[in-house]
C-alpha cells in the first residue's frame, strides 16, 4: 500500500474481506450516514454546549467524556501495524494530534478521521462489518450498538432520530442516458455518451444489433 489514504485503506480492507462493489457501497453509505447523524458531515465541529464529542464522528475526548478517542487511536495504530503501516505516513499536524495526551479529532484532517473510523470498526470485536454489508444488521442498529453506545432507555428515540435524519436526505439520481434511435449506429454516438451509459443500455445496444464500424473510437467496447 504505497499511499496512506482512506481510499487505499478501504480498498485493502474490502479486498481482504472479499466484499463486492455493492457491499463496499453499503459500508460507505453507512459511514456517510453516521457522519450525517453525528455532525452533519462537519469534520471540525465540537459538541454543542461544550460536550466531549469531537469531529465528524464525534469521538469523545477523555476529559469530561468516554475517552472513545483513545480507544479509536489505539485500534488505528493496531490496524496500521498489522498492515505494515504507521502514522508517520500521515500529515505532520495529524501525527502530533494523535500523539497528544487526549487527541481532539476535530483538529484532524477529514481523510484521517475517515481512516480512523474504518480502522476502529474493523478492529473492534463488537462491530461485525460483514454482517452490516450482508444485511444481517440494519444500519441504524449498527450505529446505535457500535458507535453511539448510549443508554438503553434512549435507544428507541435515537433509532427514530436516525430514520428521520437519513430519510430527509434525498438519494442522488443518476440521469438516464439519451435514447438512441434504432436506425442510428453506435458510430454516431459520442465516445463519452457511450462510455457513460449504464450497463442495461449497453446491453440493449448489443441486443438490437448495433454494429461498431470503428472500435478504436470506443475503448473498452466489448461486442
pLDDT digits (tens, 9 = 90+) for 70-105: 999 999 999 999 999 999 999 999 999 999 999 999
C-alpha separations of 41 from 14, 37, 106, 135, 170 in Å: 23, 8, 12, 24, 16
Record the cell numbers describing residue 124, joined without a space: 473492534
pTM score of the predicted model: 0.75
Q: What percent of the chain has pLDDT over 90?
A: 71
Q: What is the mean pLDDT of the chain?
A: 83
Quick one: pLDDT band at residue 168, thresholds 50, 70, 90?
confident
Given its phi and psi angles, is residue 19 left (phi above 0), alpha (psi -120 to 50 degrees) or beta?
beta
Is residue 3 over pLDDT 80? Answer: no
Report the pLDDT value the prediction gives residue 17, as an integer from 0 to 100. 97
Average pLDDT over every residue of 126-150: 96
Q: Measure the CA–CA gap between 126 and 101, rounded to whole angstroms.
A: 26
Average pLDDT over every residue of 117-141: 97
For 46, phi then psi, to 5°, come to: -115, 145
Is residue 219 over pLDDT 50? Answer: no
Asked if 56 and 99 touch (Cβ cutoff 8 Å), the reply is no
Q: Measure the CA–CA gap between 174 and 111, rounded to whole angstroms.
A: 26
Asked if 136 and 27 touch (Cβ cutoff 8 Å), the reply is no
Is residue 35 over pLDDT 90? Answer: yes
Report the pLDDT value the prediction gives residue 170, as an integer from 0 to 100. 52
Amino acid at each position: 500500500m504505497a499511499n496512506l489514504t482512506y481510499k487505499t485503506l478501504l480498498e485493502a480492507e474490502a479486498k481482504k474481506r472479499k466484499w463486492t462493489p455493492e457491499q463496499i457501497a453499503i459500508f460507505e453509505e453507512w459511514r456517510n450516514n453516521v457522519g450525517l447523524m453525528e455532525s452533519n458531515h462537519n469534520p471540525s465541529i465540537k459538541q454543542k454546549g461544550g460536550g466531549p464529542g469531537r469531529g465528524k464522528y464525534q469521538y469523545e475526548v477523555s476529559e469530561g467524556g468516554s475517552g472513545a478517542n483513545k480507544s479509536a487511536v489505539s485500534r488505528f495504530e493496531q490496524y496500521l501495524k498489522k498492515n505494515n503501516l504507521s502514522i508517520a505516513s500521515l500529515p505532520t499536524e495529524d501525527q502530533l494530534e494523535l500523539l497528544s495526551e487526549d487527541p481532539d479529532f476535530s483538529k484532524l484532517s477529514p481523510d484521517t478521521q475517515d481512516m480512523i473510523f474504518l480502522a476502529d470498526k474493523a478492529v473492534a470485536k463488537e462491530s461485525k462489518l460483514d454482517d452490516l454489508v450482508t444485511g444481517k444488521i440494519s444500519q441504524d442498529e449498527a450505529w446505535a450498538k457500535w458507535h453511539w453506545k448510549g443508554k438503553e432507555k434512549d435507544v428507541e428515540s435515537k433509532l427514530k432520530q436516525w430514520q428521520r435524519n437519513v430519510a430527509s436526505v434525498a438519494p442522488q439520481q443518476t440521469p438516464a442516458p439519451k435514447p438512441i434511435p434504432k436506425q442510428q449506429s453506435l458510430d454516431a454516438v459520442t465516445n463519452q455518451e457511450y462510455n457513460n451509459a449504464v450497463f442495461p443500455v449497453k446491453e440493449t445496444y448489443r441486443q438490437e444489433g448495433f454494429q461498431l464500424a470503428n472500435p478504436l473510437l470506443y475503448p473498452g467496447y466489448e461486442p
